[in-house]
Amino acid sequence: TAKDAAVASHADTPCSVSFSVPGSPSGLHLAQLGMPPFVRGNDADVGAARVPPSESKVELVHYPAVPQLLKQARHHSQPSLVVRGGGEVPTVLRSDSTRERDRRFDHFKTFSGRLERQLSNLRGVPQDIDVEQGAASKISEEDTDEDDEVPTADRYFAALEGPELETLRVRTTAVLPKDETWPFLLRFPISAFGMCLGVSSQAMLWKTLQTEPSTKFLHVHPVVNHVLWWVSVALMVVVSITYLLKIVFYFEAVRREFHHPVRVNFFFAPWIACLFLVKGLPHPVWEIHHAVWYVLMAPILCLDLKIYGQWMSSGERRLSKVANPSNHLAVVGNFVGALLGARMGLRELPIFFFAVGLAHYGVLFVTLYQRLPTNVQLPKELHPVFFLFVAAPSVASMAWTRISGEFNNGAKLLYFVSLFLYVSLVVRVNLFRGFRFSLAWWAYTFPMTSVALATVLYASEVDNVLTRSLAVGLSGIAVVTVTGVLATTMYHAFVRKDLFPNDVSIAITRRRPKFSKILAHLRSSGSDVKELVLSIPNFSSNSKQGAYSDDAGSNSRMSSSVGESP
């Protein structure tokens, strides 16, 4: 008979699929698939047993209509699929869309695949997008890349919290899944150059200990400077290549970091680290060609014009609104450039950069002393950034010493300011305990080394036992700090592998998502209508405050739906 022939034809591939659906499958009708009665069953069949609707099960035997059935069921009821039998699972049971690459990170990629999809459409090849990925992009696609814009400064302050703006607010949803690990390049922040600042400043410190008269009694061997300098160069090369790859493959993420009110200051860090490497070179600095200084100071001048102009004239990025301890990096670059330029024999341009840095340092110092713009207490994980207060005056004192040729009263004034700030922070023991490790720890290293360097120069001018002891003591503290932070960084990077968490500060929508988009996102995620109704009041009650909000349950479902695969 026809039934026996059909069964015999599939005897070679014994495989069955069973799935359970709710009592009201909402459009899932086996009759629509054209299945014969012996597959779908009916009430007229002899011996057919009725199954309660709540536990209805259907047994399928390698039937061509199975993919359509599974696709239809997935859009309505989210059935529980179980595959039984020997052999491999037939390829027809897997939808073509599930084999496509993950497109959730396309909005941050340089080559996001839009041209590829347009060319495919021109060729007449349909581009099926997975339901979960399509649902996840309903908010991110329209709110991040429209008109090729990035979030405004006001949007960063509205969606993020903390003085460093690195944490999402409770009722803010990221456009990328927070419960999954993102690609490494997307998680690699510009603040990683803080490691280069700390290590390269050590090379400069040991060279100073070797050459200055006040520390000649230490008999520092030149090999120490050589080793530290080459280690600094290797670290700088690794970090620079990694971030260059991020620029190539995730340029949108780099754009968002540059427009971030706080992260933009770390774009000075690579050039400051290079200036440290030139200053810490084992060979005499005055033998280096002046073109090297011009090449390194050109980007700093461009960033000065950009950042200082925003501080003065930009409404949403004015200094009174975006002032943060990390803004000291935008000032330190001018002092380091003046220090190196004067050491290389230049005169006018080092004075120019010193004057620019000093003017803006005074304004920044007063603004930060009055209040933090966010008007909130610094979380414990971010306390190390307070040490950036020490960096600018200590480097400025060294720069003025090289410009004037002696450690005169102007250099002493700046040095004493940095020394007082250093002591006032060190005596606060709570700044050094009770928080987990992060890249913010590197904020300890560079300022401590800068104060030690300034103290060594001061001891050469005022030579006595007290100043020598102070120079050796502060240098020892700086060396121990950098060594400990470097070892802890290596441990977290290679053993625990948690040094670079998901960078949620760049994964915010360009504007607050609309209510209709949030509902569409929830429906496509397969959530229960009952759960959806429960999440609506929370949104309505908080929408009056002008911030996107939802309850914790719906927030977690939205994040999880992006990361699920069919």
Cβ atoms 172, 506 nearer than 8 A: no
How far is residue 350 from each of residues 107, 286, 324, 396, measured CA to CA in Å?
Answer: 42, 14, 26, 11
Q: What was the pLDDT predicted at 301?
A: 96
* Rounded distance between C-alpha atoms, residue 141 and residue 315, angstroms: 28
Are 509 and 139 spatial neighbours (Cβ–Cβ below 8 Å)?
A: yes
pLDDT band at 491 (very low <50, low <70, confident <90, very high): very high
Coil, helix or strand at residue 470: helix
CATH number at residue 256: 1.50.10.150
- For residue 481, tell me if it sits in a domain: yes
Residue 229 falls inside a structural domain: yes
Helix axes 515-524, 529-543, angle to 10 degrees: 160
Say whether 307 sits in a helix, a strand or coil: helix
DSSP letter string, 88-102: PPPGGGS-GGGGSPP
Domain that holds residue 196: 184-506
pLDDT at 386: 83
More confident residue, 564 or 124: 124
Residue 253 corresponds to which tokens in the numbers above?
Answer: 């993420």
Upper half-sphere CA count for residue 249 (Cβ side, 13 Å): 13
Gap between the Cα atoms of 209 and 100, Å rounded: 59
Give a yes or no: residue 174 inside a domain.
no
Name the DSSP class of 22.
-
What DSSP element (H or E) covers 541?
helix 529-543
pLDDT of residue 57: 43
pLDDT of residue 171: 67
Residue 425 domain-assigned?
yes
Per-residue pLDDT band at 80 (split at 50, 70, 90):
very low
Domain assignment of residue 249, yes or no: yes
Q: Is 461 in contact with 213 (CB distance < 8 Å)?
A: no
> Residue 168 phi/psi, 5° resolution?
-70, 145
Domain count, the chain: 1
User: Quick check: is 331 in a domain?
Assistant: yes
102 confidence band (pLDDT: 50, 70, 90): low
- pLDDT single digits (tens) 213-265: 999 999 999 999 999 999 999 999 999 999 999 999 999 889 989 988 888 99
Tell me if 293 is assigned to some domain: yes
Q: Residue 512: inside a domain, yes or no?
A: no
